[in-house]
Chains A and B, each alone.
Chain A
Amino acid sequence: MKAKIRKIAVFVEETLKEMDQAVNPPTRRAAAVAVIENPCAGRYIADLTELMDIGEELGDLLAQRAVAALRIEGPKVESYGKAAVVGENGELEHAAAILHPKLGAPVRKVLGKGAALIPSSKKRGGPGVPLDIPLGHKDAAFVRSHFDGMEVRVNDAPRANEIMIAVAVTDSGRPLPRVGGLTKDQIKGEDGLR
């Protein structure tokens, strides 16, 4: 492993009720988070290849962990998202290097498919900062019931020279979706949009 991992955290959230209405089956989502050393912290480094390679490793590791936490097969995942927080001695571009060039392919491999763009967010912050991971349907970004977000945080991360990276997956959309739009049973799942 190129990534020097200090910590991995996995979260599973299950919603059984909303406004006294039963959510049946309960909606479930999981996020896996890795806290790693930022090899580029503290100085300007032009070539971010090392971070891109770390992104590839973490895509596989975090997708595996998150899917395992939901106790389902990869192809049963309905929506996904990714996010990163860079500690104060790093730059936003470090998060971009991890998230965008290479992290997606291994995530899709774990899920079997994933025609849609993986929605993402990033920021710089200190220990305990909340990270809102955007969520969208994995094969058709326009599925409105699956537009969502999952908040995660780790109280002691990221330290100044660290980066915290998260991959989230779900087996469902929002708890009681009723704002119309494209539904999951209407999608073609070819162009990643509809």
Chain B
Amino acid sequence: MPKVEVRKKLTSMEEIFHEGGPMASVPLRRAVALAVIRNPYAGAYVENITGFMDDLKPLGLEMAQSLIAALGGDAKAVEGYGKGAIVGSAGEIEHGALWHVPGGYAMREVLGGAKAIVASTKKVGGPGTRLDVPVTHINASYVRSHFDAIEVGLADAPRADEILLALVMTTGPRVHARVGGLKASEIKGEDGLR
């Protein structure tokens, strides 16, 4: 199977103190890890691509660990997550789908077994394309306060034969969450939904 060639990485962390309302007692933190890799399948239709998912696992783990580090080092502080991919123009959307398994596996691994499906999105695009990566609660997808999204992207990626891979994590609800619904304190955390 092709080896994973990383051209560039980006980690970023946002700390939100307020959004026009009361100052948060604990600021919300939201972190992003991006990796720009060569798309080994760019330029031609390749039928069997599944093996690349395993190849991506070490990179996924490294990105998930860098998110925890950016958020302060404690995996227990993480409450929300999401993932995404932007495939360069010489690739197909299916290549982005290769990220579902290794990206999700990596975050569950470093979080010690999160229950909820990892919210995700992907598209084909050129350098500078922005992707709104959805975010949901790590143990119960219906927790309304944790529905969020983080915009990610890089000015010079993905080039045509590249894929930009994204993982994101957050430490809590939206800064002024107040639209009701299931609360994080009410979840059972068994089925990944409630």
Contacts and interface: CB of A to CB of B under 8 A. Distances in A.
Contact of A9 (B5, B8, B13): B13
B160 to A, nearest CB: 13
A10 B32 CA distance: 10
A13 B14 contact: no
Contacts of A17: 5-8
B15 interface: yes
B19 A14 contact: no
A176 interface: no
A49 B15 CA distance: 27
B177 interface: no
Contacts of A155: 130, 151
B62 to A, nearest CB: 12
A154 B12 CA distance: 11
B145 to A, nearest CB: 18
Given A7-B17, A128-B151, A155-B151, A12 B12 contact: yes
A117 interface: no
A38 B70 CA distance: 28
A42 interface: no
Contacts of B6: 16-17
Contacts of A12: 10-12
Contacts of A5: 17
Residue with the highest number of chain B CB atoms closer than 10 Å, among A7, A16, A154: A7
B9 interface: yes
Given A6-B19, A13-B8, A130 B155 contact: yes
Contacts of A7: 14-17
